[in-house]
Amino acid sequence: MNNNVYWFLTFVLSLCGATTAFHALFNKRDSRAAAMWIIVSLLIPLIGSVAYCLFGINRIQRRARKLRKNKTHSLHKNHLEQDQQLNGGEYTRFSELIRTTTAMTQSPLLPGNSVTALHNGENAYPVMLDAIANATQHVYLSMYIFQNDACGEKFMNALIKTHQRGITVRVLLDGYGQWPVTFSMANRLRKAGVPVGLFNPIKLFPPNIHINLRNHRKLLIVDNTVAFAGGMNIAKQHCAIDDQSSAHIIDLSFRFTGPILQQLYNVFLDEWEFVTGENLIVPKNSPVTSSKPSSLSTEQGSLCRVIVDGPDDDQDGITAVLLGAIGAANRRLAIISPYFLPPREIVGALQTAARRGVQVDILLPRRSDRRFVDWATRNMLWELLNDGVNVYYQLTSFPHTKLFIVDDFYMHTGSANMDMRSLRLNFELVVEIYDHAFGAQMIEHFDECLKKAETISLERLHARPLWQRFRDAFCWLFSPLL
């Protein structure tokens, strides 16, 4: 290599590294993540710049969301006044959280909902398949992973048969979640005439620089009557009875009926328009077309609201809600998450809650499908244990449930994990629920899980061999990316 070529390549690599470092400096919101990217980009310009383009950019423009907001904001002028009807009793403690979430989401709390927890695929999938088979107007499905196995085959056949009956069917899949399988399933549906959209798919020409931003939401809406949301993908692994292998997944999905379908509809319509450009026509008598807010009554079923979050104009929305809910806790916080690497502000809030006498119980898997996350989590658990937070490991194969409960009264559940990938990189959907009766059911479920769990102590953490402590600490350095 002659000197001219050498200096030219050096100049190009230096320019790439410096450009990447400046972009990280001005755009990253986490100082640790910014410092890491700057150092890597300057020391290893080629690898650092490529890695940053693939994994470091965490913003995406959502033209469809802006279009949808222009259409729907006029429906929500009186939400703050409407939610102020919730006075007295338990709602007094949550009044600040209610006002904050209303202003952030521009959506009201909706009364009169029915929420049912469905345990694992053997209970959830038959109900979902039955709803699809009996659809009379439309079926909207958004899924992160749609596996090509026995369960995936059942859903594919049900969707195709429903489409062949003349029912409107739309399927939205993430373009990266197990992408070879995703493309295969998408192509099979398309060949049968079912419209399929791929969210942010992998592309080489032109290259997709937002590959790290995924649509992690799981949502099924059938007609104007029922919706399913939670953290459960479509895969045989979620059927604990049918799949007795060590790889099976324990999870919850939730069946919703009532006015909350209005907000779930808006989520899917927004995503579909963003991915495909198609503005779906909302059927008559749909909850989306109703512009008159309902009067709140705490005696009419569950009060629910949808919260969406992602690396766009709703960034950190779920984090803000979590902080408000932790601050409102009086007696107990119960948390289940398959991955646990929360941002510093949530760690501090949990520590503060424990110090002021709130029983804080965190239930984690002993072993998840992301070993690097497990190791990084172990490096930071001592902070929580040192302040009186209770941490437990579930001994079942892989608990994938996401559940957050405050005082047997306030809950939220959905697709978001308690880690920075979910809270800052993924597009997520959670539903917050105010309901004593349903809260009691979920606490009972939580306590049943505790009976099969083991307690994690400071002594056990400190007893790890030095090589494990080094490994865990090293993985923790990359926690903003995990």
How far, in Å, CA of 442 to CA of 424, rounded?
27
Which amino acid is present at 21? A
Pick out the chain residues at pLDDT < 70: 1-2, 5-7, 22, 26-32, 52-90, 177-178, 202-212, 240-247, 282-300, 312-315, 480-482
* DSSP strands (E only) in 252-409: 252-257, 302-309, 332-336, 340-341, 359-365, 390-394, 398-399, 403-406
Q: In angstroms, how far is CA 282 from the centroid of its own chain?
A: 26
198: tokens are 């791929």
Question: 333 with 326: CB under 8 angstroms?
Answer: yes
Q: How many Cβ atoms are within 10 Å of 122's Cβ, its own excluded?
A: 15
CA 254, 260, 265, 266 torsion-angle sign: negative
Amino acid 74: pLDDT:
42
How far, in Å, CA of 159 to CA of 189, rounded?
8
Amino acid 68: pLDDT:
44
For Cα atoms 371, 374, 375, give the angle at the middle one, nearest 5 degrees.
Answer: 90
Amino acid 49: pLDDT:
73
Per the DSSP assignment, residues forming a β-bridge with 254 are 117, 229
Which amino acid is present at 317? G
Amino acid 243: pLDDT:
46
Amino acid 187: pLDDT:
87
447: tokens are 């306590």
How far, in Å, CA of 287 to CA of 284, rounded?
9
**467: burial class by Cβ within 10 Å (0-12, 13-18, 19+)?**
exposed
Cis peptide before 206 (omega within 30 of 0): yes
Which amino acid is present at 122? E
Q: What is the DSSP string of 115-179?
A: EEEEEHHHHHHHHHHHHHHT-SSEEEEEES-B-SSHHHHHHHHHHHHHHHTT-EEEEEEESSTTH
How far, in Å, CA of 180 to CA of 218, rounded?
19
Question: 232 with 155: CB under 8 angstroms?
Answer: no
How far, in Å, CA of 288 to CA of 436, rounded?
27
How far, in Å, CA of 219 to CA of 202, rounded?
22
Q: In Å, how far are 143, 174, 197, 374, 417 from 183, measured between CA atoms?
A: 13, 10, 11, 30, 25
Identify the three-state secondary structure at position 252: strand
Q: How many Cβ atoms are within 10 Å of 445's Cβ, its own excluded?
A: 18
Which amino acid is present at 134? N
For 474, residues 6+ apart whose C-beta sits below 8 A from its C-beta are none
Q: How many Cβ atoms are within 10 Å of 228's Cβ, its own excluded?
A: 23
How far, in Å, CA of 482 to CA of 307, rounded?
23
Residue tagged 């953290």 (tokens): 231
Identify the three-state secondary structure at position 13: helix
18: tokens are 């410096």
321: tokens are 């809600």
